[in-house]
Amino acid sequence: MESLIAGFNNQLKEALTIGQKANLKPSQKPIENVLITGLGGSGIGGTIIKDWLSDACQAPIVVNKGYGVPGFVNENTLVIASSYSGNTEETLSATEKAIAKGAQIAAITSGGKLEEIVENVDGNIIKVPGGNPPRAMLAYSLVQQLFLFNHYGLANVDIEKEINTTRDILEFNEKEIMREAKDVANGLKNTLPYIYSLDGYAGIGVRMRQQLNENSKMLCNSQVIPEMNHNELVGWAGAKGDISVVFLRNEDELDRNRTRLDINEGIIQKYTSNIHHIWSKGDTRIQRSLYHIHLEDWCSLYLSKLNGVDPVEIEVINHLKGELSKL
């Protein structure tokens, strides 16, 4: 896991090359909406892409994380199926149901049954390198989804500039990123972390939670401001035990949300002083998000060491899949 996280910059470079070389077919009919279906390390890319592109994309983007598909799916729907292994049963089920409804299908995968299903309907497939934990291959999923949105005329992202600029930022700041990640990890050890991002960056908060779940073997919570101001903020009155808080910060925060965050921190300080602010670097939402993701990944690795756990091991998930396979 350590070598995979250290290789994030190289993954971005390789993902860019894969997307540039992808041989993609044109859309069959006008696209009126987009459904991104996937779970776990393969699915988080859809949540982040929605953050990145919703403001500019003329078609609504819906993220799907289950066996079925929404009722609106039809021949004017682009369904992007993301399964790193190609064998995620929920994603396979959703893809088959989308095909039955006549949707246009594109897949991001290393192979498996998903590749077979999409090949059979002459859909678009972008192959990525296989053999690693899906959560450690997020760079491939994110970059390929950007290429798909550009290809179908749903976005106009200068992908090469975004990725190469991000790589420069990460390379220049790598030592600082690792130092801050280690400092945050030390603060989160033996606590229940609450992770807060602001509207427009929901995905990076979910990503950090998932990485602490899988790599660090920790329970934690992630919510978004301002939504949490209408529910969870009241729940802090019942806060008990060792709780830590992480605010994921960005220079493009809305002034109103920044004020909300300041007020939230004042309230939360009554229940814990273990509060961390992680600021991103970069000029765009894509660059800032990728900065956060890389720092979060390092933080999860350092916490795995502090917790004395194997960051790769996910036996409980494998047990679940094994039990389901018996049905």
The tokens for 327 are: 């049905």
**Secondary element (H or E) of residue 112:** helix 112-120
Nearest to 107 by CA among 64, 78, 72: 78
Respond yes or no: is residue 25 known to be catalytic: no
Sequence letter at residue 268: I
Respond yes or no: is residue 21 known to be catalytic: no
Q: How far apart are CA 201 and CA 196, in angstroms?
A: 10
Cα dihedral value 130, 18, 16, 132, nearest 10: 0
The tokens for 167 are: 């790589």
- Residue in 25, 161, 319, 321 annotated catalytic: 321
Q: How far apart are CA 305 and CA 319, in angstroms?
A: 24
**Cβ burial, residue 160 (10 Å; 0-12/13-18/19+):** exposed
Nearest to 250 by CA among 204, 294, 212, 182: 204
- Residue in 214, 217, 294, 296 annotated catalytic: 214
Respond yes or no: is residue 175 known to be catalytic: no
- Residue in 21, 175, 230, 326 annotated catalytic: 230
Q: How far apart are CA 201 and CA 125, in angstroms?
A: 28
Residues, the chain: 327
Active site residues: 214, 230, 321
